[in-house]
Amino acid sequence: MPRVFDSANEPYDYCRYCFPSERVAEELHKFPVLPTANDGRGCCFSVGCDHPSYDEWDYKCTKCRVTLGESDY
């Protein structure tokens, strides 16, 4: 599945079963905008972003911790 970035531009990857709807992702990851992340870009929240190859790295689902693979694109 595509990646979710929170308001501080931190990435979150989910398996295809746990990937949240945009509304839920916004509730989980959009706010608060942390003062330590204030680099002048504003809120970096986004859903459906590109991600590195899950087959080449050991990425785990943010929610259920299963190792992500080809089926999670």
For 14-73, write each residue's pLDDT tens digit. Answer: 898 998 888 888 888 777 655 555 555 666 677 877 777 878 888 899 999 999 887 776
- ∠ CA 13-14-15, rounded to 5°: 135
Q: How many folded domains does the chain comprise?
A: 1
Determine the structural domain holding residue 57 and report its residue range: 1-73
Residues 6+ apart with CB under 8 A from 66: 15, 60
Is the pTM higher than 0.75? The answer reads no
Q: Tell me what pLDDT residue 22 has.
A: 86
